[in-house]
Amino acid sequence: MLADTVSVRPLSPTCGLEVEGLDLRQIGESEMTWLRSAVADNGVVAVRGQDLSPEQHIAFARQWGEIDYNRFFPINELYPEIALVQKEENQKVNIGGGWHTDHSYDVEPAMGSILLARELPPSGGDTLFASMYAAYDSLSDGLKATLETMRAVHTADHIYGHDGAYAKTDIASIFRGHDEHTLAVHPVIITHPTSGRKALYVNPSFTTRFDGWTREESLPLLQYLYAQAIAQDNVCTLQWKPGSIAIWDNRASWHFAKNDYHGHRRVMHRITIAGCALS
């Protein structure tokens, strides 16, 4: 239940809500209950106008579950719970600049993340989100039935490893964990652990192939699914403002950090919430 002073607006027909008038520093149990299902149902909820210290950000995150410490991103030295998603004036490559869902390379992938805008470029730097419920719903009954029987392989080795995608870029030095190896096999279609809805659970960044298929065999079907997933009316744009916070569910959505603000700094603080094995 929400007070009359709280306003809620959809960001797109299938994905995302924007909320104004909530104070996450002192959120009540009934508001948390509303927020938990709003995030699971809509993939992402943006709450505007928050003024949270790092301690308050951490305290809010703990209300969602255990914190999942990211092994690859730079961390805030004072607050190891907080990963730094940041780009400097002189850097060209950003973190998260391709469609993905966080930590799908883990056997128990993170439930979601709570991203807080600390420093924004004068314009640009939006984050796009896409609903994986809508992606599933858009498929034919025949393809849904086939995908229900399939699993897919996820890893981050080709992203964060010594020869990975970031190794060749101007932000190579910010990452940690080059020796970590990740490998997980998840169903291609999952039943969301709390909403009970079916969702597509493959993504262009971390899914390498279908289990039992070669990569060459997998790519055409994966690419078909990816194109469906980001069909135009299935994507919403979150335009950040100072004090905006986004809470997203990695099982219900993908996201993409736009990299259109070269020459400006952007600093986001991310806390990731632990999840569970998916089925």
Which active-site residues does the annotation give? Answer: 100, 102, 255, 270
Could you tell me how many residues of this chain bind ligand OGA (CB under 6 A)?
10
Give me 204's structure tokens. Answer: 């262009």
Residue 72 or 136: which CB sits closer to ligand OGA? 72
For 37, the enclosing helix (H) or strand (E) is helix 29-42
> Residue 254 CB, nearest distance to ligand OGA (Å)?
10
Using CB under 6 A as the binding rule, the residues of this chain from 71 to 130 that contact ligand OGA are 85, 96, 102, 113, 115, 127
Residue 156 contact, options ligand OGA, Mn ion, none, Cβ 5-8 Å cut-off depending on partner type: none
Show Cβ contacts of residue 54 under 8 Å, excluding neighbours closer than 6 positions: 76, 78, 79, 82, 269
Closest residue to ligand OGA, judged by C-beta, is 96
Show Cβ contacts of residue 63 under 8 Å, excluding neighbours closer than 6 positions: 27, 32
> Residue 145 CB, nearest distance to ligand OGA (Å)?
32
255 touches ligand OGA (CB under 6 A): yes
Residue 184 contact, options ligand OGA, Mn ion, none, Cβ 5-8 Å cut-off depending on partner type: none
> Residue 233 to residues 67, 131, 147: CA-CA distances in angstroms?
33, 10, 23
User: Tokens 């809010």 sit at which residue?
Assistant: 60
Using CB under 6 A as the binding rule, the residues of this chain from 3 to 42 that contact ligand OGA are none
> Residue 149 CB, nearest distance to ligand OGA (Å)?
30
Distance CA(243)–CA(234), nearest Å, equals 26
CB-CB contact of 190 with 201 (8 Å): yes
Q: 76: which DSSP letter?
A: E
Residue 68 or 102: which CB sits closer to ligand OGA? 102
Residue 270 contact, options Mn ion, ligand OGA, none, Cβ 5-8 Å cut-off depending on partner type: ligand OGA
> Residue 246 CB, nearest distance to Mn ion (Å)?
11
3-state per-residue secondary structure call for 118-165: EECCCCCCCEEEEEHHHHHHCCCHHHHHHHHCCEEEECCHHHHCCCCH
Using CB under 6 A as the binding rule, the residues of this chain from 128 to 187 that contact ligand OGA are none
Give the residue from 146, 121, 124, 122 showing the smallest Cα distance to 136. Answer: 146
Give me 236's structure tokens. Answer: 């919403």
Using CB under 5 A as the binding rule, the residues of this chain from 64 to 123 that contact Mn ion are 96, 102
Residue 82 or 134: which CB sits closer to ligand OGA? 82
> Residue 272 CB, nearest distance to ligand OGA (Å)?
8
Contacts 24+ apart (CB under 8 A), 218-225: 218/152, 225/135, 225/139, 225/200
> Residue 102 CB, nearest distance to ligand OGA (Å)?
5
User: Tokens 């219900």 sit at which residue?
Assistant: 252
Residue 50 or 70: which CB sits closer to Mn ion? 70
257 touches ligand OGA (CB under 6 A): yes
Give the residue from 211, 182, 202 showing the smallest Cα distance to 254. Answer: 202
Residue 151 or 255: which CB sits closer to ligand OGA? 255
Which positions touch Mn ion (CB under 5 A)?
Answer: 96, 102
Which positions touch ligand OGA (CB under 6 A)?
Answer: 85, 96, 102, 113, 115, 127, 255, 257, 268, 270
